[in-house]
Amino acid sequence: MAEPVTVGLLVRIEALPGREGDVENFLQQGLGIVEQEPGTVRWFALRFGPSSFGIYDAFPDDSGRQAHLSGQVASRRTPGSCSPSRPSNPWT
């Protein structure tokens, strides 16, 4: 049986002009990283438009979410490539 999901994040990312490819590469590399995180049970990279992207993550609890936010994906964002919006409130 799949682990229950109780916490999620939706992060919208707006690529700066000319940096759309950098954001796309960052998102493509993200899956391999989060597959190593035991507390991240779902991870989806999204593209909403030419320069608008997003990430949807789901976790069994808040400790999984906190570990993910402190992990490698967050630390690998290319400086100057995008302007991330605030994560949405976790849902329970």
Domains in the chain, number? 1
pLDDT one-digit tens code per residue, 28-87: 998 899 999 999 999 999 999 999 999 999 999 999 999 998 888 877 765 555 655 544
Report the CATH number at residue 30: 3.30.70.100
What is d(CA 76, CA 92) in angstroms, rounded to the nearest whole number? 28
Residue numbers of the domain that contains 13: 7-76
Q: Is residue 88 part of a domain?
A: no
CB 11 within 8 A of CB 90: no
- Residue 6: pLDDT over 80: yes
Q: Is residue 25 part of a domain?
A: yes
The pLDDT score that the predictor gives to residue 40 is 93
Q: Is residue 51 part of a domain?
A: yes
pTM (2 d.p.) = 0.77
Intra-chain end-to-end CA distance of the chain, in Å: 20
